[in-house]
Amino acid sequence: MGNRDLIRTSAHGRVNLIGEHTDYNGGFVLPTSIPQSTRVEIRPKTKSDLQVSIESSGFQKVIRYEIGSEKKNDDWADYVRGITWILAREGHQVPGFDVRINSTVPVGSGLSSSAALEVALLRGLRDAFSLPLTEVQIAQLGQKVENDFVGARVGIMDQMAASLADPKHALFLDTRNLSYQKVPLPLDRADLIVINSGISHKNVGSNSGADYNTRRGECERSCERLGVNQLRDLGPEALKSAAFLALPEVLQKRSRHVILENARVLSTVQALEAGDLAAVGRLFGESHRSMRDDYEVSIPEIDVLVEIAAAQPGVFGARLTGGGFGGSIVALARAGEGRRVADQIAKLYSEQTNEKATVLVPGAGL
């Protein structure tokens, strides 16, 4: 594409520090931004056809379609088709355009590659066609793309993080009312580490996608039996109630994870504000064990990666991040040791599993 009338926008991926599978239960989450991003270049045109060029993680694809003829194809381009589809459904008129998309957020890494694409493209279309959309509305549209077009029943954390998060703060978000607070990260005392396990996850169109939607259904059935609208309505004391103890075991486990994970988010915010990194590390460990044992979204390779990370001197704690069934881990290490520790974790993991781990955020230099 030439430079004339070219609109350029971008959005970053995110790593969730803690608060997993709480967003679609109306709960609390605590993501932050990562350096990897999705960039788009848009050239508007008057015809209603699109040419989309996508380049991500070494693969390239070009698609063409007419606005109004969007059909799900179970591929990465569904996120683009879903955006033009949802804009029309919500009453936003978008004529044709050509777009080039380049992403360094690894697909299937649990770091919101889809949300980064949605937010970057929606920002570009807002700028190109003067659409009256705020950053929060862009996030809401992105979630609708996933829920209503792609078929993944995700919450809104990823899109809100792609819209609002930055690398110096954790975004403490209440997904029920979308209020948020930016909590400073102790980057002078700790390095953030993000390592991709090399095992891809999907939210839809695969076994992991079916499992993801199953988890949401289990939470909804728990709410029906417990007489609440969302699991957010329950605190840890509910785990001793007769209604909770009467749940089938699988619903007890799913509910227990969500209820206690919400409490862990609140505790993590307090620990960050107090500078208590050891407490943050302990909460990371509790969260991972809950995702492994109660929510059952971890896999053996991820467990090995977390165990290796948590055992390293200088690491406060580590956990699976993202929806699960593969993807990445997040860890917190002493300041100045992030790169060395991350490389050691990746090396030991590869030796033990024969999988290739990739250090995405080494900590130093954030």
Cβ contact 305:321 at 8 Å: no
What is the identity of the amino acid at 292? R
Distance (Å, rounded) from C-alpha 281 to C-alpha 18? 11
Our answer to whether residue 343 is catalytic in this structure is: no
* Number of Cβ within a 10 Å radius of residue 147: 17
Identify the CA nearest to 18 among candidates 255, 197, 276, 281.
281
Distance (Å, rounded) from C-alpha 179 to C-alpha 175? 7
Distance (Å, rounded) from C-alpha 109 to C-alpha 117? 14
Cβ contact 56:186 at 8 Å: no
Structural Rg of the chain based on CA atoms: 20
Cβ contact 36:144 at 8 Å: no
What is the three-class DSSP state of 323? Answer: coil
What is the identity of the amino acid at 164? L
Distance (Å, rounded) from C-alpha 214 to C-alpha 208? 10
Identify the CA nearest to 52 among candidates 91, 84, 4.
84
Catalytically annotated residue among 78, 98, 127, 158 = 158
With b meaning 16 or more CB within 10 Å and e meaning fewer, what string describes 194-207?
Answer: bbbbbbbbbbbebe
Residues taking part in catalysis: 158
